[in-house]
Amino acid sequence: MANENLGNAKKAKNDEFYTQFSDIQKEMNAYLEYNPDVFRGKIVLLPCDDPEWSNFTKYFAQNFETLGLKKLISTSYAPDSKPHDIPYQPTLFEMDSPGFDPEKTQTRGKIFTLSKDTTGDKVINVDDLEWDYLEGGGDFRSEEITKLRDEADIIVTNPPFSLFREFLAWLVEADKDFVIIGNMNAITYKEVFPLIKDNKMWLGATNFNVGMYFFVPENFVYAPTYKFEREIDGKKASRVPGVCWFTTLDHGRRHEPLSLMSMADNIKFSRHKEIRGIGYSTYINCDAIEIPYTDAIPSDQLGAMGVPITFLDKYNPDQFEILKFRHGDDGKDLRLSDGSCPYFRILIKHKQVSS
């Protein structure tokens, strides 16, 4: 379920949730372990990331040579395009730069690029970032940012929560590789699930049951029920459970097979009381069995199975085929014999049934 803080942020259009460096590094390492050259020779675009705040920019700039990047492009939104209770104050970094223009700083986004050694120290890193003002406010939907998208090979960012659908469509339109953050409930969106089903997009390497802490602005208002840490390394933070990475880059965890028991063994030994000693329920509007927990998938089931959306965190496309989402043969929500509708089931089947 969506976190209340995230819901409040969407309603208020307060989308300034900043990803921690450690979470970015952990996720990127998974792609690098599977393919060390995944970023080599590539142009990476970070279209929602002011380098003065964004750890995405810091990560890729700091590791520019290690990753073998060809070019890094990072853009930010103009202060006037974001809601602020506190008037925007340019940083010393911006004001001390030769290109600083007080007439542009409020209404223009910024673009930072990295492709060469500008300091003369024979190393390309964060110190070599060059910046300028954009012509517009930095909205990813603008012609200016869309041209940068078309130039890039891989797009990586934490897009605005309230614009996730639009941002994903913007990526898919260009047929670009990407790594982005979103809430796990996005899996249920009509714009998202078909991409997962057709193996055009999948979940990243970080298990979404962990939840992630994001840095938030000082004026961020916590939900009354918030019970987690409110500060990390001296910065205001908020935990958002059910957050996951969506990507087109492959990683090893995606190809780890689930270790499963036979149907008979599940009925005898399952730790789930819904199955142990009882067996599996079936749907009245679909020839499939109900699987309430991913670890209860039987290894020898020949036909279709309805599994919770959390299954996708363990989904191995070499082991399973995704059939469809949520609906039975009559086009209505899957229903059990008692008339109840289990919450958001994905119909799957084994690609090769174990004997």
191 and 83 co-located in one domain: yes
- pLDDT at position 7: 41
355 assigned to some structural domain: no
Which carries the bigger pLDDT value, residue 224 or residue 261?
261
Closest CA to 31 of 321, 253, 334: 253
Residues 246 and 282 reside in one and the same domain: no
- Residue 269 and residue 250 share a domain: no
Domain that holds residue 267: 263-350
Could you tell me if residue 210 is inside a domain?
Answer: yes
Q: Which residues contact 247 (CB under 8 A, 6 or more apart)?
A: 31, 177, 178, 179, 180, 201, 202, 203, 204
Residue-averaged pLDDT of the chain: 88
DSSP state of 213: E
Residues 212 and 284 in one domain: no
Confidence band of 10 (pLDDT split at 50, 70, 90): very low
Express each pLDDT in 239-298 by its tens digit. Answer: 888 889 999 999 999 999 999 999 999 999 999 999 999 999 999 999 999 999 999 999
CA proximity to 81, closest of 158, 142, 7: 142
Assess whether pLDDT exceeds 60 at residue 1: no
CA neighbor of 354 nearest in space, from 301, 306, 300, 309: 300
Asked if residue 24 belongs to a domain, the reply is yes
What digits encode the pLDDT tens for the residues 22-50?
A: 999 999 999 999 999 999 999 999 998 77
pLDDT of residue 235: 86
Give the end of a domain, one of 255, 276, 298. 255
Q: Are residues 312 and 229 in the same domain?
A: no
pLDDT-based confidence at residue 104 (cuts at 50, 70, 90): confident
Domain count for the chain, please give it.
2
Q: What is the pLDDT of residue 343?
A: 85
Secondary structure (3-state) at 106 = coil
Q: Is residue 113 domain-shared with residue 183, that is, in the same domain?
A: yes
Is the same domain home to 126 and 206? yes
CA dihedral defined by 342, 348, 352, 355, rounded to 10 degrees?
10
Band (pLDDT 50/70/90 cuts) for residue 92 is: low
- Closest listed residue to residue 197, CA positions, set 28, 341, 327, 291: 327
Indicate whether 53 and 84 sit together in one domain: yes
Residues 299 and 342 in one domain: yes
Which has more pLDDT, 272 or 184? 272
Residues 211, 287, single domain; the answer is no
According to the model, what pLDDT value does residue 81 have? 61
Please give the residue that has the higher pLDDT: either 106 or 74: 74
291 plus 214 within the same structural domain: no
Q: Check whether residue 276 and residue 319 sit in a common domain.
A: yes
Domain C-terminal end among 197, 230, 255: 255
Question: Does a structural domain hold residue 49?
Answer: yes
Closest to 257 measured CA to CA, from 181, 124, 354, 139: 354
Task: Please state the rounded mean pLDDT for residues 100-115.
Answer: 85
> Quick check: is 313 in a domain?
yes
Q: Which of 179-183, 205-209, 272-276 has the lowest average pLDDT?
A: 205-209
Q: State the first-to-last Cα distance of the chain, in angstroms, to the nearest integer.
A: 37
Return the SS3 of 155.
strand
Domain end: 214, 239, 255, which one? 255
Listed in sequence order, the residues at least 6 apart from 224 whose beta carbon sits closer than 8 Å to its beta carbon are none
Give me the count of residues in the chain: 355
15, 9 contact by CB (below 8 A): yes
Q: Compute the average pLDDT of residues 220-249.
A: 87
